[in-house]
Chain A
Amino acid sequence: MLDRMQRLRRGAITAVGTAAAVVVLASCGSAASHNRQDALHPEGPAAHKILNLMTPFFWVAVVIGAGVLFMTIFVAVRFRERPGEDRNPVQTHGNVVLEVSWTIIPFLILAVMAVPTVATIFNLAKIPKGPNVIHVDVAARQWFWQYEYTDKGTGFYTANEMHIPVNRPVVLSLTSNNVDHSFWVPELAGKKDVIPGHPNTLTIEASKVGTYTGQCAEYCGLSHANMRLRVIAESESDYDAWVAQQKTPLSDAKVAQFTNTISSKWGCLSCHSVTNLDKTVTATIGPNLTHVGDREAFAGDIYPMTLDNLTKWVYDAPGQKPAGPLKGWMPNFSKTGMTMTQAQQIARFLLCDTATDPNSHPECR
């Protein structure tokens, strides 16, 4: 019986050990398939500072944790009562020296931790200024991100995908006119909440060319999980080219086509705009559609920009992304008489006619 218990115990310990090993291995494995949304792989100065600040204290915590874990097992095994044994242990009621020392030592460790913590808090709170800095107004909506580039020589709207040049600080002004959200691109910076009536700023910067994903990190209702975003960090010249594209308005003919043949029937322009320059934009309820065809994904960065996906979206948006009874949300047009063909025509306009380079989409060639 005793033997069996011991074997059982040893078996259980082995199982725990194996499980821990599997977890560690699996996490290393997934670290290899780098997802570009990983706070442990910073690619910007803010995210680097954060990881560098945390890492040493993380290891201190690991050492303390392992020590307590070891001691817990040690005292249990070392001082366990064998069957039939009648030990009369010394009745220690306390020890002032020990108790004072394990009050003071953690205090000292925490005091050491406090200094760089407070320094980094103030460092990260600084808002960079100067001609090098790019400014973007970020408006969190239910459930997508609207960006307005406000610097001189920019002045346009886009959504979900933010293009930035590498090695230049980008100051984001975060506002919401609905509920709380949180803007988070883990590889570039920590998150900052977007709260109605409480404008916030967050500085992001990428040190490497690449696409960094992120998503809303404050629960914001039904489609919180579908409020993703991406930051595309590119070279200075690629960025300038992109700005030039975004600044170019759609031709008057295309705007007229959209206004008269599509929006007049389905009311698109009461929520969306097909002009994206800040003085002309009136409807900002839905994402700005001026150059929607230039984006890699849509609907809160959840669907790749293909004709098929766009068609399904135009036809029945609530079926593609849960929105519940949210007032003013994209209607299910299939219920108001839209045919699949009509949906595809609209989708084709959005994909091919708004894209700066329609040939980038195989469906438009």
Chain B
Amino acid sequence: MSLLGVQDLSVSLRGRKVLEAISFDVARGEMIGLIGPNGAGKTTLMRAILGLIPSQGGSSLADIPPASRGKHAAWMPQAREIAWPVDVRTLVALGRIPHADARISAQDRAAVDRALTHMGLDAFADRTATRLSGGEQARVLIARALAQETPLLMADEPVAGLDPRHQISTMTCFAGLARGGASVIVSLHDLGLAARHCTRLLVLDDGALVADGAPQAVLTPQLLRDVFGITAWTGVTEDGFVLQPLAAL
């Protein structure tokens, strides 16, 4: 079953075409990495899919009435905003807003506990979110998106600024969600992580979708040179497909 359908999605901002006729489908259980150089349109594509900015063409998510979109997709913006010094549990519980009509139910509480455990935040539950380090805040915000328990999770550079251990555990967590039947779309710059943890990569370059497929098929020397301007070592090891960027061209 398709979770998300995107057809001929185009976005113009201030008279400039930022995205040009993007089409793809997302099935259940996919771990999709959205990659591309700075300014390629990754954030714009995700916001257009969510219906947060006006676009031409279709996104099955943007067609859902805004009030119930939050039950279908969770969105973690790149700006890690925590405006008030609330405790971690309260912040994560904000992810239940699309579900809760009035009071927080036992079901909501269970979802919050699961999300906290998923991100290894049980010990942090009563700490003030704004007093945590940047990386810890990022994990709290990922937990917030997890607590929403939606079939689709979209995150804009969720691993930027995390230490290696938490970069890997976050990607593993997302991959685990995908194996459980949800789908995840993450934008990221680390091609090594993308190659290793994603089941599928979408490559954006200058507002166009230039490649779509399994990491090993997509990350060819030619694409790395043309789109990213780098050379890289790639190989299939006993741990799977591995990519290590080498030099800028």
A and B associate: no
Residues of B participating in the A interface, judged by any CB pair closer than 8 Å: none
